């Protein structure tokens, strides 16, 4: 399905689940804002990649949800997946720390690529709260409706799926995940992986191994982090 206003393809499973959001007045206003911004300014990610998190991980295939905040706003970084950058792009500090924790927790060596598409394709929804941003202007697309849309995504998963793992790093993600039913899903919380907070509760959180243990306990294939 294509949204003509933004010319972005979204997976049909998500289109069905989120149709009430697409029909809502706030989403029309958001679409017009995004159209105007992409027409007037350089924005990220590229238009066809705005909904990459959904296109790479259909609704019924989601096993894990990682919540970020904004796309990266530097040239060539954002690819529509939180914490992820395109192949060949220097790894941002938070991603360096994520890879470090993966290695310490699971023994998996750190890859050279910063793209997390391989996670998405295994069922990890890499969801930013805000899906677009103006170049070199952090938080420039906040407060325009994306947060309402991504709240609806979380609510739909919470209500319609069972035994998901929600990974919430930092206070912002934890507030956004406050609606999650802990009796139906596993919620893992810790400090954010940014250099400012990684040594204050992110390193050693064992989220990757704990996630896989939970998935296997419920008959699901673990993630190859």
d(CA 80, CA 128): 8
Contact 170, 200 (CB under 8 A): no
Burial of 78 (0-12, 13-18, 19+ CB in 10 A): buried
**Nearest residue to 169 (alpha-carbon basis) of 153, 141, 192:** 192
Where are the alpha helices (H) located in 41-131, listed in sequence order? 52-55, 93-106, 117-120
Half-sphere exposure of 225 (CA within 13 A, CB side): 23
- Whether 70 is catalytic is yes
d(CA 16, CA 201): 38
**Nearest residue to 14 (alpha-carbon basis) of 119, 117, 162, 127:** 127
- DSSP H or E run through 149: helix 146-160
The catalytic position among 11, 23, 60, 70 is: 70
Q: Which residues are catalytic?
A: 70
């Amino acid at each position: 399905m294509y949204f003509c206003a933004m010319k972005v393809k979204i997976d049909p499973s998500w289109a069905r689940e989120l149709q009430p959001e697409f029909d809502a007045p706030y989403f029309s206003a958001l679409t017009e804002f995004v159209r105007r911004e992409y027409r007037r300014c350089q924005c990220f990610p590229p238009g066809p990649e705005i909904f990459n998190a959904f296109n790479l991980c259909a609704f019924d295939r989601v096993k894990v949800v990682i919540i970020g905040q904004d796309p990266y706003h530097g040239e060539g970084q954002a690819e529509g997946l939180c914490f992820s950058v395109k192949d060949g792009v220097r790894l941002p500090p938070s991603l360096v720390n994520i890879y470090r924790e993966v290695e310490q927790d699971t023994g998996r060596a750190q890859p050279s690529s910063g793209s997390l598409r391989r996670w998405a394709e295994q069922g990890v929804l890499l969801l930013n709260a805000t899906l677009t941003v103006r170049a070199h202007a952090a938080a420039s697309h906040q407060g325009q409706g994306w947060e309402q849309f991504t709240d609806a995504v979380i609510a739909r998963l919470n209500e319609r799926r069972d035994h998901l793992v929600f990974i919430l790093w930092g206070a912002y993600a934890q507030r956004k995940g406050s609606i999650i039913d802990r009796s139906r899903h596993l919620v893992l919380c810790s400090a954010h992986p940014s250099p400012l907070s990684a040594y204050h509760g992110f390193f050693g959180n064992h989220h990757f191994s704990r996630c896989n243990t939970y998935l296997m306990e419920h008959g699901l294939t673990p993630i190859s982090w």
